[in-house]
Structure 1
Amino acid sequence: MRQVLEGSHAISEAVRLARVQVTAGYPITPQTHIIEAISEHFADGTMTGRFIPVESEHSSMAAVVGAATTGVRTFTATSSHGLALMHEMLHWASAARLPIVMGEVNRALGPGWNIWMDQTDSLAQRDTGWIQLYCEDGQEALDTTLMAYRLAEQVNLPVMVVIDAFFVSHTFEPIEVPDQDDVDRFLPPIKPRFALDPKEPAALYQMAPPACYMEMRRSIDLAMDQAADVFGEVEEEFEAVFGRRYGSIETVGCDDAEIILVTTGSATSTSRMVVEKLRGQGEKVGLLKLKRFRPFPVEAIRRALAGARKVAVLDRNFCFGVGGIFAQEIRAALCGLEPAPVMFNFIAGLGGRDIPPNLIEELYSTTKTHAAPAEKSIWMGLNEELLESCGI
């Protein structure tokens, strides 16, 4: 059934359709609408199970860790400083091999206090052992949340479904909401690898001495590698039922492109229009959309970018002292490729600032007209007068 939903409620609908049994939630803008809608589903009986209102995001993740340990399907959501507060428990969830799914609405970190779009919050958690999947729009957010449960429950790792603050979370659009019977066919009841049972007492998550700790970490690494293949299988099965798939990456016009733009999230939609316009003018430009950040699709990226002369990576995030985070990862993925394309890294849209079509055209023009980047990261759309007033 096609409905007009905001991006946050697309995730809420997916959680309802997934028959999640325990949700823990703490409100934080711009994630709040996800948890609000789910709490209403539990209150009116649309969802059965337990909704746990908690006093902090740290407790929210702790609650779903405990619930998942009993073998039930779980969910929570957060943003920005809430995600940062969860950091300790994110490691706990992945090391405990729990198939938790979390909605993460990208929001800038302070100070200064900012509730708008910035990917640095989720990317700062890239080493916690969570699978990370980035969505361009509300339909992709709904579909990805359903696929996330299949993926998490097959490889026993938690999954973060990431959407842009406001550009996706608060934007209404027509979304195809699947029938419950079809979802049940795609996503059967959870069959946990282990579950706490009072009839069979067990102690879990005890001290891991040097004799076994490395093996535990290696098993997580192997599961993450396995997740790359399982993700493709899950998408194939999803497409067989619902007729849609997204891929770890998506390429547009890359086969003959001399310059390829790399984007993720909602900026991809704007970039699609710009690429179409430029190709209509005879420009050999392509677009690579990155969806699956963890595990990172190294080989797919190498194949897609191998024929380009230049690559322009648009980062809506930043790692101080290094540069854009996606650019770092892509540069590493291309290491050893001969000939390797020249990489340009552009920083734009931090703190919710718009990335309009003319900025992407400027980004493309800069890449085309320069043999190499003048800086490790080129900041786009800065107010130079305001920057000067900030000082160093």
Structure 2
Amino acid sequence: MRAYLNGNEAVAAAVKLARAEVVAAYPITPQSTIVEKIAEYIAEGSMAADYIRVESEHAALAACYGAAVTGTRVFTATSSQGLAYMFEMLHYVSGCRIPMVMAVANRGLAAPWTIWADHQDAVACRDTGWIQLYVETAQEALDTCLQAYKIAAHPEVLTPIMVCLDGYVLSHTEEIVDVPDQEAVDRFLPPYRPEYKVDTGRPYVFGVGAGPDVYPAFKFYQQQSMMKAKEVIKEIDREFANLFRRSYGGLVDPYCCSDAEVILVVMGATAGTAREVVDFMRRQGERVGLLRLRSFRPFPVEDLKELLRGAKAVAVLDRDCSFGYEGVLATEVKAALAELPARPQVAGFIGGLGGRDLTPEDLAGIFRQCLAGVRRLDKGEAIIIGGGWQK
């Protein structure tokens, strides 16, 4: 079925198709309409799930944690300050290896207070042990939520997943979305039947205390599972493509990279504009390309090495800032390429903070600076687009 949906509606449709059994909800702009739409599904009887209205985002994730350890497929969603309020529970969920899915409608963090999009909220949770997948379109938001439930519950992964979609640009912008039928989704995503759960017949302890003698083992296996997730993400994307005829490349989505002199690395919806800019500059004879990073955690080091090794320069566009240094993605890309014998120069750019538009002219300007030879490469001095505002 084809429907005209925005990104939030597409996520809600995916949660319904995934047959989530418990949804914990606390509203925060711009994600609120995700849980509002799910509430409509439950109220009209088209979705069989328990809907828990909680007093905070921290409580929302705690409720999902409690439901998930009983062997229940769960869902919640948040944004910005709400995700920050969940921070303590993020570690509990990942440390207990709870395979849940949470949508994050990306929004800048206060202060100053804003409701507009950037990636600071999710990127700040980089080290919490959650897989982070960033989507470009409403269609990809729906499809990635379905994939995420299967990835998270894979026996070699057992790791929670954030599906990140840019606030307003995706969450509130409508497009034609192919909504798969329930029978096809059921073939792709079987019921959630975990081996370990709260069961009086087979008692287990979740969130147990651990001394220094065993604590490192827990973290070792958590890291191993995150690394194994790289292949699982690719494998499930291929499986999804075989059934639904749509693929997103697994960890990365390259465009015109094979012969490019300059490659722009981005995450999220900015890739749509960047792709048009690449086409325009290619028609002018410039050898430029785009690499959309779909998986921020686990970080696709091997893919980046393979796809970027032939470029003369790599421009990394962050919608976040690690204050005192540079954009987080730029740092990660530099580290990934550090061992290449003849690695490309890497230039970091920061833009789109607090919802500021990233125009085709902005992106073309990044390409042109790199083609001309940016002189701030590898110094941690990211160029901030829209910085230097004066009264």
TM-score w.r.t. structure 1 length? 0.97
Match of 1:45 in 2: 45
Cα deviation for residue 199 of structure 1 reads 4.0
Match of 2:197 in 1: 195
Q: AA paired with 2:52?
A: I
Q: AA paired with 1:170?
A: H
Q: AA paired with 1:378?
A: I
Match of 1:125 in 2: 125
Q: For 1:377, which of 372, 377, 382 is the aligned residue?
A: 382
Q: Tell whether 2:235 aligns with 1:233.
A: yes
Q: Tell whether 2:266 aligns with 1:269.
A: no
Match of 1:145 in 2: 145
Q: For 1:343, which of 335, 341, 346 is the aligned residue?
A: 346
The CA distance in 2 between the partners of 1:266 and 1:201, in whole Å, is 45
Structure 2 spans left out of the alignment, 5+ residues: none
The CA distance in 1 between the partners of 2:4 and 2:284, in whole Å, is 35
Give me the CA root mean square deviation: 1.1
Bigger Cα displacement from structure 2, 136-145 vs 39-48 = 39-48
SS of 2:390 mapped into structure 1: helix
Match of 2:167 in 1: 165
The CA distance in 2 between the partners of 1:340 and 1:372, in whole Å, is 16
Q: AA paired with 1:361?
A: A
Structure 1 spans left out of the alignment, 5+ residues: 387-392
Write the deviation string for residues 57-82 of structure 1: whole angstroms up to 9, x where unpaired.
00000000000000010100000010
Match of 2:85 in 1: 85
The CA distance in 1 between the partners of 2:308 and 2:72, in whole Å, is 41
Write the deviation string for residues 189-242 of structure 1: whole angstroms up to 9, x where unpaired.
012021112344443322111121110110101111111111111111101110
- Contact 2:196–2:204 (Cα < 8 Å) also in 1: no
Q: For 1:296, which of 295, 299, 305 is the aligned residue?
A: 299
The CA distance in 1 between the partners of 2:204 and 2:320, in whole Å, is 43
- Superposition map of 1:243-322 within 5 A: 243-247=245-249, 248-322=251-325
Cα deviation for residue 164 of structure 1 reads 0.1
The CA distance in 2 between the partners of 1:210 and 1:363, in whole Å, is 48
Match of 2:108 in 1: 108
The CA distance in 1 between the partners of 2:96 and 2:70, in whole Å, is 12
Match of 1:178 in 2: 180
The CA distance in 2 between the partners of 1:103 and 1:264, in whole Å, is 16
The CA distance in 1 between the partners of 2:364 and 2:343, in whole Å, is 23
Q: AA paired with 1:245?
A: S
Q: Tell whether 2:19 aligns with 1:14.
A: no
Q: AA paired with 1:330?
A: V
Match of 1:389 in 2: none
- Contact 2:7–2:141 (Cα < 8 Å) also in 1: yes
Q: Tell whether 2:26 aligns with 1:26.
A: yes
SS of 2:213 mapped into structure 1: helix
The CA distance in 2 between the partners of 1:347 and 1:214, in whole Å, is 36
Q: AA paired with 2:385?
A: M
The CA distance in 2 between the partners of 1:162 and 1:257, in whole Å, is 28
In the TM superposition, structure 1's runs of 4+ consecutive aligned residues that sit over 3 Å from their partners are 198-203
Q: AA paired with 1:370?
A: G
- Contact 1:359–1:381 (Cα < 8 Å) also in 2: no
SS of 1:211 mapped into structure 2: coil
Identical amino acids, percent of aligned pairs: 47
- Contact 2:347–2:374 (Cα < 8 Å) also in 1: no
SS of 1:116 mapped into structure 2: coil
- Contact 1:342–1:372 (Cα < 8 Å) also in 2: no
The CA distance in 2 between the partners of 1:205 and 1:379, in whole Å, is 42
The CA distance in 2 between the partners of 1:209 and 1:382, in whole Å, is 47
Write the deviation string for residues 120-147 of structure 1: whole angstroms up to 9, x where unpaired.
1000001010000000010000000000
